[in-house]
Amino acid sequence: TLNHQNTDATLTQQVPEILFPWRSVVVRGDGTLRRVKRDWVIPPINVPENSRGQFPEDLVRIRSDRDKNRMLRYSVTGPGADQPPNGIFIINPISGQLSVTKPLDREHISNFHLRAHAVDLNGNQVENPIDIVINVIDQNDNRPEFTHTIFNGSVPEGSKPGSFVMTVTAVDKDDPKTANGMLRYKILSQNPQSPSSNMFTINNKTGDIITVAAGLDREKVTQYTLIIQATDMEGNPTYGLSNTATTVIRITDVNDNPPEFTTDTFFGEVHENRVNVIVANLTVTDKDQPHTPAWSAVYRIIDGDSTGRFSIPTDPTTNEGLLTVVKPVDFELTRSFMLTVEAVNEVPLARGIHLPRQSTATVSVRILDINESPEFSPNPKPIKLEEGLPAGSLLTTFTAQDPDRFMRQTVRYSKMYDPANWLEIDPVNGRISTIAILDRESPYVKNNLYNVTFMASDNGIPPASGTGTLQMYLLDINDNAPHVFPPEVEMCEKPDPNAVNITASDPDLTPNAGPFAFELANRPSDVRRNWTLSRVNGEYAQLRLQISSLASGIYEVPIMITDSGNLPMSNTSYLKVKVCQCDHHGDCVDMARIIAAGLGTGAIIAILICIIILLVLVLVFVMWMKRRDKERQAKQLLIDPEDDVRDNILKYDEEGGGEEDQVHAHINTHTHTHTHTHTHTDLSHFTISISVMSSMLSLMGLAEYRLVLQWM
């Protein structure tokens, strides 16, 4: 049987001893006895923390009953022995005395688990290892610690008693299962002590702070400061350890104060016709927290502005109401306004709070007269009339009214914009007359409309002026004769068929334009002999050659065209027809360039003969120049060799020759130079002649002959 004696070292000086006996007896089934060894099972060893005794301090002795027959060795293993933290517990290998070497700290390690071993001198295990549990007994050696030095909370003003505010928390490192770690809270002080010194209480176990009295008013006290104490040992003031923290409780605002106007009546004035102008500044007071919805004012007009000409936005900085004109006000209609305005907050008032009389005020607005511009009516003014009215014709009267009925002023008229300069206006009565003939086909008329701008000015101080537009719709008359279109056409000499289609252009509108009547003129007489004109429809006619062929060239065919106006207008216009030689596709060939230059076939043949004669002369001239050059070279070979040496050899070791020799040398040199220059001049004249001929042929359109000359 395992015997274990363990007594707290603080109570007795005797060290407990653990034996390893072999006393366990088991009765077999046949009635015989057998000794059985049991494993070590010992209760935990309790060791107080922070011990101040002498170290090492003995805890317990471990001994096996086999040490009577032989020498044994004891050892312990585990954290605190041979594992970190090493060396806290040691054992005497011979006596088995287990000791602690230094004070223990429960808040660091609350218990240790060791294992004891017993072996013989040869290291053979004689006992099974046993587990030893060492519990560190807690001492009240730690004060409570609050989680924050300063706690912040809030509660709305006007809160009823029992309203939750906030929770404070403290912790104690001592064992929470013992009184050492059991905390209790209490309020030590409250600042300010208004309206009561006990506005709050605290749950001593949970740390919850609640209100216990009514009367929280942010406008009087904005925040409270509480000193909270936490004590362990369940709050025992004698043995418990304490600590304190500060709690700041902010009283939040509710809308319990309505805005109140600083006066019963406000005054303002504004000029008529002005908009977005501040008329008056409305001021209020509000005791609630500034720049919060409970403080910000909202203004509204509840009477006196049925047409919605005013609005009152709020200045976010000053909380003033800015009475502003948003629609023009006419002095001649209304000279003053009496407005009733009301001020409320952005959020509703707290329950039980009502708007006082001071939340409503009166605003008196006076309208100031200004000199207004005269106004044309209607503007623009449309009129409809025919074009072609002669100068001096009266069109209409365009007048303006002066809105300033209470000012005796005179209105005068003038013209501002008249691009064609067709009209004039009487400066006194506004009568508009023409000073030129109206023409619908003028480039200043767009879509039959012609606009003229007039100005009306009064004689006020300062003068005011307004503008009006006269919008004239011009009706078309038949005042333009038609013209042939297109003005130029091309036709082949011998086409089949040899005809082109033509039409007419008329600036007038239907029915003063088409359908048109086309007719060839009677003169010159060869017109009707060479050409014929037939009607295709009301817009087109067909011109064709009446003879089998016509020489290439440019012909102007007179055609008389008549429109369909009420008073028809006729006009003879000339159609330019280019008759040319055509290829098998019916397109004019390059000969059209000669026809464009106005040359007939006979003229072209004459030009070609002249070119051939000129080419023969050029060839004769070139042959003569070559023959002359050969004769000069032959003469040069007959010159005396001595003269030739004299002319080309310069002797540097001789005196200069006499005057006669120098003159002779000069003459020879001049003769050679003159001969060369003459030959060069002749060639230059020849080149210039060729260039001139080439240019002339280019102008006449004979490019192929020009290329021949350039090649030569």
Residue count of the chain, please give it. Answer: 712
Domain hosting residue 49, numbered range? 17-21+38-137
- Same domain for 407 and 445, yes or no, is yes
- Same domain for 233 and 281, yes or no, is no
- Same domain for 507 and 423, yes or no, is no
**Element (H or E) spanning 684, and its range?**
helix 659-699
- Same domain for 265 and 248, yes or no, is no
- Same domain for 208 and 129, yes or no, is no
Say if 238 falls within a structural domain.
Answer: yes
**pLDDT at residue 8, rounded to an integer:** 38
Say if 694 falls within a structural domain.
Answer: no
Query: What total number of domains does the chain contain?
Result: 5
**pLDDT at residue 104, rounded to an integer:** 94
- Spell out, as residue ranges, where the chain has pLDDT lower than 70: 1-15, 17-41, 495-498, 586, 590-603, 634-712
Say if 619 falls within a structural domain.
Answer: no
**pLDDT at residue 709, rounded to an integer:** 39
8 Å CB contact between 294 and 345 = yes
**pLDDT at residue 386, rounded to an integer:** 86
- Same domain for 227 and 188, yes or no, is yes
- Same domain for 398 and 315, yes or no, is no
Return the bridge partners of 106, or none: none
DSSP 3-state of 86: coil
Say if 26 falls within a structural domain.
Answer: no
**pLDDT at residue 602, rounded to an integer:** 66
- Same domain for 83 and 122, yes or no, is yes
CA distance 289 to 299: 19
- Same domain for 190 and 244, yes or no, is yes
CA distance 383 to 54: 128
CATH number at residue 361: 2.60.40.60
Q: Residues near 477 by Cβ (< 8 Å), separated by ≥ 6?
A: 386, 387, 388, 440, 508, 512, 565
Say if 669 falls within a structural domain.
Answer: no
Say if 658 falls within a structural domain.
Answer: no
Q: Are strands 381-386 and 465-475 parallel, antiparallel or unpaired?
A: parallel
8 Å CB contact between 9 and 58 = yes
Q: Which of 537, 568, 589 is the last residue of a domain?
A: 589
Say if 189 falls within a structural domain.
Answer: yes
8 Å CB contact between 159 and 254 = no
Instruction: Count CB-CB contacts under 10 A for residue 442.
Output: 16
**pLDDT at residue 408, rounded to an integer:** 78
Q: Which of 527, 556, 589 is the last residue of a domain?
A: 589
Say if 6 falls within a structural domain.
Answer: no
- Same domain for 487 and 573, yes or no, is yes
Rounded (10°) CA dihedral 74, 77, 83, 88: -60
Q: Residues near 563 by Cβ (< 8 Å), separated by ≥ 6?
A: 478, 481, 482, 504, 506, 508, 512, 513, 514, 516, 569, 570
Kindly state the tokens that stand for 378.
């209607």
- Same domain for 502 and 582, yes or no, is yes
- Which residue's entry shows tokens 């939750």? 164
Q: Which of 200, 218, 252 is the last residue of a domain?
A: 252
Kindly state the tokens that stand for 203.
């749950």
Span between the terminal Cα atoms of the chain, in Å: 149
- Same domain for 387 and 466, yes or no, is yes
With b meaning 16 or more CB within 10 Å and e meaning fewer, what string describes 51-87?
A: beeeebebbbbbbbeebeeeebbbbbebebbeeeeee
**pLDDT at residue 686, rounded to an integer:** 45
